[in-house]
A and B are shown apart, each in its own frame.
Chain A
């Protein structure tokens, strides 16, 4: 990795951290709030541009499409999260999503920076990845994961504006537990069975209690207009992510058929992608037919976020096998 590329990536990482703090600080400064939100969005835009150039530079240096291992996919994920937020902020004027988007991007940069040097280095491709299908199959998936994250985060903000603070606290705790399990699985030698229990058990328990706590409303944080906006943003993110996930899963099947003669082999990662697809298919059915209230749909969106996390990072870090081991830290 060249110094230029490293500097650009670091610029993007620092930008995401800085914009996060400015977004957070804007909540405490009523007079300067709008100006600070503008500054935070601008800083994130600078980070987004730097990351775009960094990814292009990496591709030029590697002389291939720069999306072949976990580190590179994290760069793409952060890029899609930042870009997705900037588009949503432009379309909806919802800059409060910014601090969660910046936090997600910063976490991904941090996670990526802690990976072994072998992940940062530009390495030759294994035979299975030497195919044009790689650039068709992987980018839609990574962008869809980022959109699902933004959808889940918007769902959390919807819960806040709907006055469901207790439910939101439980959701935040659940996401934190899941993230902790993934982090421990990646960087420590803790037995994966405990981490699987932490992730799955924590998610099931957390979401169950979050649903139970929906009845508890805190009127002080109630804002009907913002609640409706974030409900709409959450659905919009998922409505964009779902076709991308579908395209990613299907093109993965086409690649597998082209390379191995079978478009579906129940590999753990592809099975998990199917689980995520099914969960969002259920979300869309519930949404279109108005079977659930907006707050419950927000919780379904957060459950989708957890499944996305499990599909994207969990399966490799929590000790599941399969054909998609290039996403694994060796």
Chain B
């Protein structure tokens, strides 16, 4: 279509012609706007000859340069076509689907992948980048192409269509109305102005904006929905800007921090920023705790944090919990996980730290006593007693020996065991995302755009014509319309409109002619199509 328009070298269409084309041959619309842009702004168009090979003052361009320039331009133009967009959308969907199916190293680590797929398969998946798919050059290339496609389509096709909003719909005459998707005619014994005003009144009741021009009427509903594509594309392009700002200037990371330890941002992802520098302050975990439901299930995790500058000065303090982060110096710190990391015991006065492992709702540490006996230390909460078990090969299950409250001690044989304290660990997730406000604006545009797209754009035309006959004169009222979506709903509302108009015309005793029933016409059309098939 693009080629045929450009080759014909037709002048840019007027807005009136654009609207007419849209009504009578709906497939033309995108090409019309395309043609306007093409004629006004672009140096070369696919399939057309370059306008000038020789600059009036510059050197002569070689054929190769002209061909290369044309090729690059054609390539860029082809990036903005619907077909390219759909191919790239589907390609992206396939990439994401594979990435969703295969656990990603960044989320679960390589161990989990090897455990799930076995060594050989896992090695192959890792080798081909499937386990880190969203960082592979191929995926990034796909996203880059999709971004180019969105940008080209936005400026070449989507935004130019906004021009149509400025123009009012052109009035149509009876022959054009008869070619619309739904239409009908009345023969009315009334003045044309009165017949049109009755139609206008009925349409206004249904929320249409109506304009009457001489013997013709134009009405629209849902014109705002025509901005949907533009608003969505603005959102998508804003999102690209936001994500770019974030990736150049932001950082993030996760760190498990033991009670009493400090966390710095030196080990964050993207620690070498393109723009800006990492903050100097650190976070000290002053206390951390877990809150349970009566059933023992975790309800909430809390960490009391202090922001410390390099000189040791406390800049801020806050207790964070899940869904309640600390924001300081452009960095947001979130409560992400929680657990018990170690227990500190003393054996006959000698202090020893044992690492804990999660075991269901509890945590356990293992201490081999001799080749056959293992001591197991089990705790659930910081303030609950430590249970001590022993396990031998000939015992079917571990046997509980004793339990010690925090700070308490017991005698196990000749050894005096003291439970000094547990060491909880809080998982802190942090991020600095300067592009976030832009991204949020983008989210707003996208949500607004796709919501607008749900509304149909309905257009109705009416025209009157005075018919002379033996008894005098009557008015022929032609009325018709189109909708870009929810067409059946529009047909139904149009039929209701006709029905109410019929009643109104009857009420004023003005009906003189026949009304062609829409349903009959439609049935005839369907029967014809069925016959044809």
Q: Do A222 and B533 have beta carbons less than 8 Å apart?
A: yes
A282 CA to B298 CA, complexed, in Å:
42
Q: Is the CB of A286 within 8 A of B86?
A: yes
Contacts of A233 in B (CB 8 A): 488
Give chain A interface residues in 187-232, CB to chain B under 8 Å.
196, 217, 219, 222-225, 228-229, 232
Complexed CA–CA distance, A267 and B433 (Å): 19
**Does B101 belong to the interface (CB within 8 Å)?**
yes
Identify B325's interface contact among A254, A258, A274, CB under 8 A: A258
A223 to B92, CA, bound (A): 37
For A282, the chain B residues whose CB sits under 8 A away are: 86, 89-90, 93
Task: Say yes or no: is A243 at the interface (Cβ < 8 Å to chain B).
Answer: yes
B120 to chain A, nearest CB (A): 15
A223 — which chain B residues lie within 8 A by C-beta? Answer: 526, 530
Closest chain A residue to B134, Cβ basis: A266
Is B13's beta carbon under 8 Å from chain A? no
Q: Which residues of B contact A258 (CB under 8 A)?
A: 323, 325
Contact B447 A246 (CB under 8 A): yes
Question: Which of B252, B293, B450 touches A261 (beta carbons < 8 Å)?
Answer: B252
Q: Does A91 contact B (CB under 8 A)?
A: yes
Minimum CB–CB distance for A93 against chain B, Å? 8
A39 in the interface (beta carbon within 8 A): no
Verify A225–B526 contact, CB threshold 8 A: yes
Whether the pair B488, A92 counts as a contact (CB closer than 8 A) is yes
Nearest-neighbour CB distance to chain B for A128, whole angstroms, equals 6
**A291 on the interface (CB 8 Å rule)?**
yes
Residues from 27 to 80 in A contacting B, C-beta threshold 8 Å: none
Nearest CB in chain A: distance from B20 CB, A: 19
> Which residue of B is nearest A128, CB measured?
B322
Q: A247 — which chain B residues lie within 8 A by C-beta?
A: 447, 451
Query: Given known contacts A127-B299, A222-B533, is B97 in contact with A275 (CB within 8 Å)?
Result: yes
If the complex has contacts A124-B293, A247-B447, are A285 and B89 also in contact, measured as CB distance less than 8 A?
yes
**Other-chain residue from A225, A232, A262, A321 in contact with B486 (beta carbon distance below 8 A):** A232
Q: Which of A3-11, A13-21, A169-177, A234-242 contacts B (4 or more CB under 8 A)?
A: A234-242
Q: How far is the CA of A188 from the CA of B113 in the complex (A)?
A: 23
Are B89 and A271 closer than 8 Å at their CB atoms?
Answer: no
Instruction: Give chain A residues whose Cβ lies under 8 Å from the Cβ of B431.
Output: 261-262
In the complex formed, the residue of A with least CB distance to B334 is: A261
- Given known A-B contacts A127-B299, A222-B533, A268 and B100 have beta carbons under 8 A apart: yes
Given that A232-B486, A261-B431, A271-B100 are contacting pairs, would A285 and B443 also be in contact in the complex, using a CB cutoff of 8 Å?
no
Report the Cα distance A280→B321, complex, angstroms.
37
Cβ of A224 and Cβ of B334 under 8 Å apart?
no
Closest CB-CB distance, B482 to chain A, in whole Å?
Answer: 14
Q: Which of A228, A266, A274, A291 contacts B104 (CB 8 A)?
A: A266
Bound-complex Cα distance A59 to B330 (A): 38
- What is the CA–CA distance of A289 and B301 in the complex, to the nearest angstrom? 51
- Alpha-carbon gap, A289 to B82, bound state (A): 8
**B420: min CB distance to chain A, Å:** 28
Q: How far is the CB of B252 from chain A (nearest CB, A)?
A: 6
Q: Is there an interface contact between A291 and B488, defined as CB atoms closer than 8 Å?
A: no
Are B300 and A130 touching (Cβ within 8 A)? yes
Contact B485 A236 (CB under 8 A): yes
Contacts of B447 in A (CB 8 A): 243, 246-247, 250
Confirm or deny: B473 has a beta carbon within 8 angstroms of a beta carbon on chain A: no
Tell me whether B15 is interfacial, beta carbon within 8 Å: no
Return the contact of B301 from the options A127, A228, A243, A265 (Cβ within 8 A): A127
B321: chain A residues at CB < 8 Å are 127
Contact of A130 among B295, B322, B489 (CB under 8 A): B322
Residues of chain A with a CB closer than 8 A to B439's CB: 263
- Report the Cα distance A158→B95, complex, angstroms: 31
Given A258-B325, A261-B430, A275-B100, A291 and B82 contact (CB-CB distance below 8 Å) = yes
- Pick from B323, B332, B522 the residue with the most CB of A within 10 Å: B323
Q: Is the CB of B82 within 8 A of A91?
A: no
Q: List residues of chain B with CB within 8 A of the CB of A243.
A: 447, 450-451, 453-454
Once A128-B322, A130-B323, A242-B453 are accepted as A-B contacts, the answer to whether A219 and B100 lie under 8 Å apart by CB is no
Query: With A and B bound together, what is the CA distance between A45 and B334 in angstroms?
Result: 45
Q: Does A315 contact B (CB under 8 A)?
A: yes
A284 beta carbon closer than 8 Å to chain B: yes
Check: A320 CB closer than 8 A to any chain B CB: yes
| In the complex with contacts A236-B485, A243-B453, A282-B89, A259-B533 CB distance below 8 A | no
B148 to chain A, nearest CB (A): 16
Known A127-B300, A224-B530, A274-B96; contact A281-B523, beta-carbon cutoff 8 A: no
A279 CB contacts on chain B under 8 angstroms: 89-90, 93
Instruction: Determine if A259 and B453 form an interchain contact, defined as CB atoms under 8 angstroms apart.
Output: no
Residue from B229, B252, B298 within 8 A of A126 (CB atoms): B298
- The yes or no answer to B30 lying at the interface (CB within 8 A) is yes
Least CB distance from A215 to B in Å reads 13
Is the beta-carbon distance between A259 and B86 smaller than 8 angstroms?
no
The smallest beta-carbon distance between A84 and chain B, in angstroms, is: 14
- With A271-B99, A275-B97 already in contact, the answer to whether A260 and B334 are too (CB < 8 A) is yes
Expressed in whole angstroms, the minimum distance between the Cβ of B88 and any Cβ of chain A is: 9
Q: Given the interface contacts A262-B429, A262-B431, does A127 sit within 8 Å of B298 by beta carbon?
A: yes
> Are A219 and B533 in touch, CB under 8 angstroms?
yes
Query: From residue A260, how far is it (CB to closest CB) to chain B in Å?
Result: 5
Known pairs A127-B300, A278-B92, A285-B82; A239 contacts B252 (CB<8 A) = no
Choice from A217, A266, A322 contacting B533 with Cβ under 8 Å:
A217
Indicate if the CB atoms of A130 and B299 lie closer than 8 Å: yes
Within 8 Å CB of B492, what residues of A? 91-92
Contact A284 B100 (CB under 8 A): no
Report the bound CA distance from A322 to B102 in whole Å.
11
- Contacting pair B86 A291 (CB below 8 A): yes
Task: Check B107 against A127 for contact (C-beta < 8 Å).
Answer: no
Q: Which of B102-157 touch A at CB < 8 Å?
A: 103-104, 106-108, 134
- Beyond the given A127-B301, A250-B447, A268-B100, could you list 8 further A-B residue pairs with CB under 8 A, ordered by the A residue number? A131-B322, A232-B485, A236-B485, A259-B323, A271-B96, A272-B100, A286-B86, A291-B83
What 10 pairs across the A-B complex have the smallest Cβ distances?
A: A271-B100, A261-B431, A278-B93, A124-B293, A224-B526, A232-B488, A127-B322, A243-B450, A243-B451, A268-B100
